[in-house]
Structure 1
Amino acid sequence: MTNQTGTRTTTGTLIVKGTVALIAALLLFAPFLFQDVRSLEVAARICIFIVLVASFDLLIGYTGIVSFAHTMFFGFGAYGAAILLKQMGPGWTPVLLGAVAGVAVSIVFAVAIGLLSLRVKAIFFAMITLAAASVVLVLASQLSHLTGGEDGITYKAPDLFKPATKLLTDADGKVLKVFGVRMNGKLAAYYFVFASCLVLFLVMLRFTVSPVGTVLKAIRENEARAEAIGYRVVAYRTFVFCLSAAIASLAGTVYAVWLKYTGPDTALSFAIMIDILLMVVIGGMGTMWGAVIGAVLLTLAQYYLRDLMGAASAALEGVPILPELTAPDRWLFWLGIIFILLVYFFPKGIAGTAMEKGARS
């Protein structure tokens, strides 16, 4: 029975990991598989949100910390790069300095919030982080001389990422095409996003199986017992809060370089926090693999569900009621229905439920 359980557990895990590997392969070759501009934007957003959701999963899934300030750290990284790129001009120096500044500010805020608040109960800590994020959002909107206010900041990315940059040329000096894809700066920008996000995700994945990651799981399961055997719970929680904040900040910097625009709606909006929460729940908390699945599913739904419903409405024309129910304007209604069904049939998220069923069956 032990062997059977072990085999099935491995099988369930392999299915999830195989799905994640397939997603990674699709993202790797996305510029060649999906050659329209919109698809490339979606692929880049998926890469960014995989890191953002995974870093949030370090808090809520592995440590049991509920925070609503994750977009605040994301915004610090994005605004750090955006402000310096605007003031210093395109180049790698402002990108690196912006990344360092964003991480530094994020860690300072994380330490302050962590040391002051992690001793209180979960709901009170969540409210404190929500208040902090709200204050930063208001400041970003009001400090228009620095942040651009509600209009945000538009700037230029490093020269390597300009669409006019020629990575490879043919004999005539024209941009070389490989499988119909132009080897230009836009392609370089996408692979900068993909490579950066891959490295950050692998770092988090390695952290979860480290001795510190094991302690965090023990704190999540039974905080009193972990403290009784000698672990400093507040110190560990503050550390993981800082790590999560730093990674979210770096994701913000990468997104700022890709988007070439940073504003409250793209970096600090509470809607982004809602998306992160939904992605974590859909994928599965405490699995890390769930971040990949949740980010992919919700992002694809946000970008393509409306189109699918438009096609369905047109196909059902002449049928009573159904064309109105499937009208593109009702895509949020159906997104909510899909989310409810996912939570009902996958109570621990898609990855979490699949791995648990493999262990128990």
Structure 2
Amino acid sequence: MARNSSALASKSLRGSAISATWPGRLVVYGAVALIGLALALAPFLFPDVRSQEVAARICVFIVLVASYDLLIGYTGIVSFAHTMFFGLGAYGTAIALKTMGPGFEAILLGGGLGVVAALVLALLIGLLSLRVKAIFFAMVTLSAASVMMVLASQLSDFTGGEDGITYSIPRLFSPAFELLSDAEGKAVRLFGVPLNGKIALYYFVFISALVLFLAMMRIVASPLGSVLKAIRENELRAEAIGYRVVFYRTTIFCIAAGIAACAGILRAVWLKYTGPDVVLSFDIMIDILLMVVIGGMGTMLGAVIGVVLMTLAQYYLKDLMALGAEATGSLPLVPDLLYPERWLLWLGLGFILLVYFFPSGIVGTLLGKGGQK
């Protein structure tokens, strides 16, 4: 009788947990589906230059943030060197395009060398440092990232120094290149948007980012993902049952580094410019951390939500505040509070509120995972 009652209680608890999380799952999956659809149709829904830049940046940063979540969210590795790997992919591509000319072979060779360099550095850092405690490993990666930033600034013959590198990309990605032309020789328009090289460039970034993101989703759903979670939850227990913790930690560190370098390739091709401020800056590392925390560590889909919210705030919060200040011009104090240059204040307050109401990140809280389970 006692067994039957405990079984019924267990079923009841499971049923209540499912009923508590299914609305959250619906919200999360629905939001991610809408974001994916908006990104897939971005050139036609948002044809202006600024909106396309925002959409392309979101695609690249979803890959970058998700690859960092493999480390901090799924394995419990705190690293400050992720922008270093991002920069290696970007600089490898930029240097090759500058020296070899605007061809796909330059992207393949330069980007490939950047990815290889990222893998080698990640392997060296992993083998030398992943045996130490978390805070000491974080300091090692921070030092490595700082060294890379100095090298990029000082080796101006190769990297362009503080000014960075500007270069041309393949003609297929040029706005002047017509993918399809009509009888008059003009570019065919779809929903009023000309099908030119700019469209091809965006979909090169979008499809590449989608493939990389799906590959990471497959990793976390595989047996490797289960091992990473076991290491995160209890490293000593994982080692005691036979898993080679250092091997797995080094492996995922290299995988994350390689994917971050691929994101750097996409960023370099899209921008046609690479410099320390756009790929190696510590501000980018802070943005990555904030995006992971906002979306939810150890959820992967949290990268999508976190990147979209943070990027939209960075690009459009000032505009919204300017509109608000103009609309409330007759009120006391409010226009001063909504002065556009104070956007960082409101961004910080918004982040505090998000952490308070979604302590495990938006996706982690809505899915009832506690962000780390």
| TM interval, short-chain normalised | over 0.9
Deviations 1:18-71 (CA, angstroms, capped at 9, x unpaired): 211110000000111111110000000000000000000000000000000000
Q: What is the distance in 2 between the residues matched to 1:18 and 1:330?
A: 32
Unaligned runs of 5+ in 2: 1-11
Does residue 143 in structure 1 map to residue 119 in structure 2? no
- How has the CA–CA distance of structure 1 residues 357 and 216 changed in structure 2, closer, same or farther, with 3 Å as cutoff? closer
Deviations 1:253-296 (CA, angstroms, capped at 9, x unpaired): 01100110000011101110010000000000000000000000
Does residue 209 in structure 1 map to residue 221 in structure 2? yes
Q: What is the distance in 2 between the residues matched to 1:58 and 1:275?
A: 16
Q: What is the distance in 1 between the residues matched to 2:27 and 2:55?
A: 22
Q: What is the distance in 2 between the residues matched to 1:324 and 1:12?
A: 37
Does residue 64 in structure 1 map to residue 76 in structure 2? yes
Deviations 1:178-228 (CA, angstroms, capped at 9, x unpaired): 111110000110000000000000000000010011000000000000000
Q: Counterparts of 1:1-361 in structure 2 under 5 Å?
A: 1=12, 2-356=14-368
Q: What is the distance in 1 between the residues matched to 2:288 and 2:41?
A: 25
Larger radius of gyration: 2
On the 8 A contact 2:86/2:279 being kept in 1, the answer is yes
- How has the CA–CA distance of structure 1 residues 318 and 183 changed in structure 2, closer, same or farther, with 3 Å as cutoff? same
Q: What is the distance in 2 between the residues matched to 1:5 and 1:134?
A: 45
Structure 2 residue identity aligned to 1:298: M
Deviations 1:62-120 (CA, angstroms, capped at 9, x unpaired): 00000000000000000000000000000100101112101110011101111111111
Unaligned runs of 5+ in 1: none
Structure 2 residue identity aligned to 1:282: I
Q: What is the distance in 1 between the residues matched to 2:345 and 2:266?
A: 32
Q: What is the distance in 1 between the residues matched to 2:148 and 2:72?
A: 22
Q: What is the distance in 2 between the residues matched to 1:38 and 1:266?
A: 17
Q: CA deviation at 1:3?
A: 3.6
Normalising by structure 2, we get a TM-score of 0.94
Identity of aligned residues (%): 68
Greater mean deviation of Cα atoms: 71-80 or 11-20: 11-20
State the secondary structure of the residue aligned to 2:368: helix
Structure 2 residue identity aligned to 1:33: L
Structure 2 residue identity aligned to 1:240: I
On the 8 A contact 1:9/1:358 being kept in 2, the answer is no
Q: CA deviation at 1:15?
A: 2.6
Q: What is the distance in 1 between the residues matched to 2:158 and 2:142?
A: 23
Moved over 2 A (4+): 2-15
On the 8 A contact 1:11/1:358 being kept in 2, the answer is no
Q: CA deviation at 1:234?
A: 0.5
- The number of residues matched between the two structures is 359
Structure 2 residue identity aligned to 1:21: A
On the 8 A contact 2:360/2:370 being kept in 1, the answer is no
Q: CA deviation at 1:161?
A: 0.2
CA RMSD of aligned residues (A): 1.3
Q: CA deviation at 1:176?
A: 1.3
Structure 2 residue identity aligned to 1:192: F
On the 8 A contact 1:8/1:358 being kept in 2, the answer is no
Q: What is the distance in 2 between the residues matched to 1:15 and 1:334?
A: 25
